[in-house]
C-alpha cells in the first residue's frame, strides 16, 4: 500500500539516520542524545481530496510525537527524500515556505535545549507550543513584565522592562538563549553600561534584576543550575557585591546641610520644589520620593503623618510609619497649600489612575528633581552628587553621629530588622564631622 510505505519510510529516520536528521538542522549533540525530527506526509489520516496532513515528527529515545502544520497534500505530491512537497505541484511553494519557517523554529528550540542541558520531549513541546516561552532571555522577560502588570505590580514591571531595554541595546536587538548569559557576557554588559555613563548603583539594579530572572528561568528549566552566571559562596561568577563599594552615597556634612536649609528659593524659584522635597525627605526620616508623592491630606492625623512604605508592601498596623509634623515639615506642607490636588504635593494628578501611570509620573518627576538638585549643589558649592536619596543617608548619618541607638534609627527608617539598618550604616562614614552639634 502506498500509504503504508510512506508512513514507514517517514518513521524510519529513527535514531541513527544522520543524513535525514540533519535535514532539519539538528546538531550532533542532539543526535547523540537520541533526538531527531523531520516533516512527514502522515498516511495514517486521510483528508478530503485524498490528502494527508503534513506533520512534524519528533523522536527522542524511540518515543514518537507528531505535531500538525495546518498543511496537507496527496502522497503523489510529497517527496519523502527531501521531506517537502514536490516544487512543481500546485501549492507546493507556499507549503514548503511554511515548512522552512517551522524547521528554523525547531532548530532554534532544539539547539537552545541542548545548550541548557534540558533536551526532552516535554521541554520541546513547551517551547514549540508556546513560542513566547522560547528559553530566550528577552522573550522571557517580556512574559514576566506582562504577568507583573496583570497583577498591578507596576514598579517591578518597570524595573524589568528597563533592564530588558538596556540589555536589548547591548545585544543590538538580538535575543539570546539563557545558556549564553554567562559570567563573561555579564562582564561585557557591565562594561557596556559603564561606557554609556552608568554608575555602580545603576548597574547593580540591572544585575540584580537579571539575577532574579535567571532564578525564575532555572525553575522553568530554561537554564541548567550548573550554568548559573553569578558569584556564589561555592563558586566564581559575576560578582554583584563588587558594585556595593561603588554605590556609597555620601551624606551631607552638617555645614552642607545648613546650606540646604538656608537655600534662597526666592532667588531661584525654579529650584524651590527640588529643595523642599529634599528637605521634606530629610525631616521625615528619609522618606523616599515615591512615598512622598503618594501622601494625601488624610494621612495627616492628630499632628502626625501616618503612611505605609510602598517598597515593603507590609500589611497591618506594623506596616505604618509616622512622624510629627514639626515646624520645618509644616512650613513645607504649607508652601503647597491650596494647589487643588488630591495629594499633599502636586506630583500626581487626576490623570494618574493606574499603578503604571502613577509609576511613570513619579519616575519622571524624580528624574527632574534630581537634575535640579545637581543645579542646587552647584549654586551652594556642594561637591556631593546630590539626589533625593542623599537626604535619606544624611538623616541616618546625622543620627548615627549623635549616637542614637540603631533600634531607633531602624524604626524611624521603616526597616524590617535592625540587621538591615546595621548593613545600611556600615556603608556610612564614622563620626568624623565635629560640626554636627545638634540633631535634626
Q: How many CA atoms lie within 13 A of 21 on its CB side?
A: 22
**C-alpha cell at position 185:** 557576557
Domain endpoint, select from 77, 94, 129? 129
Number of domains composing the chain: 3
The 52-60 sheet, strands edge to edge: 35-41, 52-60, 63-73
Q: Does residue 440 fall inside a structural domain?
A: no
Does 414 lie in the same domain as 269?
yes
| Residue 76 CA, distance from chain mean position | 52
The answer on 142 and 115 residing in a single domain is no
Residue 422: the pLDDT is 59
DSSP summary character for residue 177: B
Q: What is the DSSP letter of 223?
A: S
438 is a domain residue: no
Cα distances from 341 to residues 303, 334, 368, 396, 408, in angstroms, run 21, 14, 20, 31, 34
Distance (Å, whole) CA 105 – CA 28 = 17
**According to the model, what pLDDT value does residue 17 have?**
34
pLDDT recorded at residue 51: 96
Q: What is the pLDDT of residue 94?
A: 95
Task: Print pLDDT tens along the chain (440 aa).
Answer: 333 333 333 333 332 333 333 347 677 888 888 899 999 999 999 999 999 999 999 999 889 999 999 999 999 999 988 999 998 899 999 999 999 999 998 988 888 788 767 788 887 887 788 665 557 898 889 889 988 988 888 888 889 999 999 999 999 988 888 888 888 899 999 999 988 888 777 888 999 999 999 999 988 878 888 888 998 877 778 988 777 555 556 788 889 999 999 999 999 999 999 999 999 999 988 888 999 999 999 999 888 888 887 765 555 445 678 788 888 999 999 999 888 889 999 999 988 988 888 888 998 999 999 999 999 999 999 988 899 988 888 887 777 666 667 677 766 666 666 665 555 555 544 443 333 334 45
* Cα(226)–Cα(228) distance, integer angstroms: 6
Are both 305 and 420 inside the same structural domain?
A: yes
Examine the domain organization and report whether 269 and 227 are in the same domain: no
Supply 382's cell numbers. Answer: 556642594
List alpha helices for 295-336, DSSP H. 327-335
Domain edge (last residue) among 129, 155, 186: 129
Question: What integer pLDDT is reported at residue 212 of this predicted model?
Answer: 95
Q: Considering just the CA atoms, what is the radius of gyration of the chain in Å?
A: 31
Write out the three cell numbers for 93.
Answer: 511553494
Q: Are residues 325 and 406 in the same domain?
A: yes
**Can you state the percent helix, strand and coil of the chain, rounding each to 5?**
55, 10, 35
In a domain, 164, yes or no: yes
Residue 320, phi then psi, degrees to nearest 5: -80, 140
| Other beta carbons within 10 Å of 285 | 19
Q: 176: exposed, middle or buried (C-beta count within 10 Å: 0-12, 13-18, 19+)?
A: middle
Would you list the DSSP string of 39-87? Answer: EEE-TTS-BTTTBEEEEEEEEETTEEEEEEEEEEE-GGGEETTTTEE-T
- The answer to whether residue 313 is domain-embedded is yes
Is residue 90 classed as helix, strand or coil in its secondary structure? coil
Give burial (CB, 10 Å; 0-12/13-18/19+) of 429. middle
Q: CATH number for the domain including 306?
A: 1.10.443.10
**Is there a single domain that holds both residue 268 and residue 406?**
yes
55 domain-assigned = yes
What is the domain range of residue 100? 2-129
Q: Quote the CA–CA distance of 57 and 66 in Å, as a whole number.
A: 4
Pair 224, 120: CB distance under 8 Å: no
Report how far apart, in Å, the C-alpha atoms of 38 and of each of 2, 42, 119, 135, 235 are.
Answer: 20, 12, 17, 22, 41
Burial class (CB in 10 A: 0-12, 13-18, 19+), 421: buried
Look at residues 340, 347, 346 and name the one whose alpha carbon lies nearest to residue 365. 347
Answer yes or no: are the C-beta atoms of 180 and 108 closer than 8 Å.
Answer: no
Count of CB atoms situated within 10 Å of the CB of 152: 11
431 domain residue, yes or no: no
pTM for the whole thing?
Answer: 0.52
d(CA 39, CA 84): 8
208 and 356 inside one domain:
no
Across the beta sheet with 320-324, the strand order is 300-301, 304-308, 320-324
Question: How far from chain centre, in Å, is Cα 116?
Answer: 21
Asked whether residue 146 falls in the same domain as residue 103, the answer is: no
432 falls within a domain: no
Answer whether residue 158 is part of any domain.
yes
Residues 165 and 231 in one domain: yes
Both 263 and 325 in one domain: the answer is yes
Q: Which of 204, 229, 246 is the last residue of a domain?
A: 246
Which pLDDT belongs to residue 177?
82
Are 235 and 314 in the same domain? Answer: no
Q: In terms of domains, do 142 and 58 share one?
A: no
Each residue of 66-78: b (16+ CB within 10 Å) or e? bbebebbbbbebb
Mapping DSSP onto H, E and C, the string for 398-437 reads: HHHHCCCCHHHHHHHHCCCCHHHHHHHHHCCCCCCCCCCC
Handedness of CA 341, 344, 349, 355 (dihedral sign): negative
Amino acid at each position: 500500500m502506498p500509504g503504508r510505505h510512506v508512513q514507514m519510510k517517514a518513521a524510519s529516520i529513527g535514531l541513527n539516520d544522520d543524513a535525514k536528521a540533519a535535514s532539519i538542522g539538528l546538531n550532533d549533540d542532539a543526535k547523540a542524545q537520541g533526538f531527531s525530527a523531520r516533516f512527514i506526509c502522515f498516511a495514517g489520516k486521510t483528508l478530503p481530496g485524498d490528502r494527508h496532513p503534513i506533520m512534524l515528527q519528533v523522536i527522542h529515545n524511540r518515543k514518537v510525537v507528531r505535531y500538525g502544520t495546518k498543511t496537507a497534500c496527496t502522497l503523489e505530491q510529497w517527496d519523502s527524500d527531501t521531506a517537502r512537497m514536490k516544487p512543481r505541484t500546485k501549492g507546493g511553494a507556499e507549503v514548503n515556505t511554511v515548512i522552512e519557517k517551522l524547521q528554523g523554529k525547531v532548530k532554534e528550540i532544539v539547539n537552545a535545549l541542548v545548550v541548557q542541558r534540558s533536551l526532552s520531549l516535554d521541554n520541546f513541546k513547551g517551547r514549540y507550543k508556546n513560542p513566547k516561552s522560547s528559553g530566550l532571555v528577552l522573550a522571557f522577560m517580556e512574559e514576566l513584565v506582562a504577568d507583573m502588570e496583570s497583577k498591578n505590580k507596576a514598579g517591578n514591571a518597570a524595573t524589568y522592562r528597563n533592564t530588558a531595554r538596556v540589555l536589548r541595546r547591548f545585544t543590538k536587538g538580538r535575543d539570546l538563549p539563557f545558556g549564553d548569559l554567562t559570567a563573561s557576557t555579564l562582564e561585557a554588559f557591565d562594561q557596556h553600561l559603564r561606557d554609556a555613563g552608568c554608575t555602580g548603583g545603576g548597574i547593580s539594579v540591572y544585575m540584580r534584576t537579571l539575577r532574579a530572572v535567571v532564578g525564575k528561568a532555572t525553575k522553568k528549566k530554561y537554564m541548567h543550575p550548573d550554568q548559573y552566571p553569578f558569584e556564589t559562596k561555592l563558586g566564581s561568577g559575576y560578582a554583584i557585591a563588587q558594585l556595593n563599594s561603588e554605590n556609597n552615597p555620601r551624606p551631607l556634612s552638617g555645614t552642607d546641610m545648613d546650606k540646604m536649609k538656608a537655600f534662597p528659593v526666592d532667588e531661584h524659584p525654579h529650584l524651590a520644589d527640588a529643595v523642599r522635597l529634599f528637605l521634606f525627605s530629610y525631616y521625615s526620616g528619609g522618606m523616599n520620593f515615591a512615598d512622598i508623592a503618594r501622601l494625601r491630606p488624610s494621612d495627616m492625623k492628630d499632628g502626625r503623618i501616618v503612611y505605609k512604605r510602598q517598597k515593603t508592601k507590609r500589611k497591618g498596623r506594623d506596616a505604618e510609619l509616622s512622624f510629627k509634623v514639626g515646624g520645618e515639615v509644616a512650613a513645607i506642607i504649607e508652601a503647597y497649600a491650596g494647589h487643588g490636588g488630591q495629594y499633599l504635593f502636586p506630583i500626581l494628578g487626576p490623570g494618574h489612575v493606574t499603578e503604571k501611570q502613577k509609576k511613570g509620573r513619579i519616575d519622571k518627576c524624580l528624574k527632574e528633581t534630581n537634575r535640579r538638585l545637581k543645579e542646587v549643589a552647584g549654586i551652594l558649592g556642594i561637591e556631593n552628587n546630590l539626589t533625593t536619596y542623599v537626604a535619606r543617608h544624611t538623616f541616618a548619618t546625622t543620627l548615627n553621629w549623635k549616637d542614637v541607638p540603631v533600634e531607633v534609627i531602624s524604626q524611624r527608617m521603616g526597616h524590617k530588622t535592625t540587621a538591615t539598618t546595621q548593613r545600611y550604616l556600615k556603608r556610612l562614614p564614622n563620626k568624623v564631622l565635629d560640626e554636627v552639634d545638634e540633631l535634626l
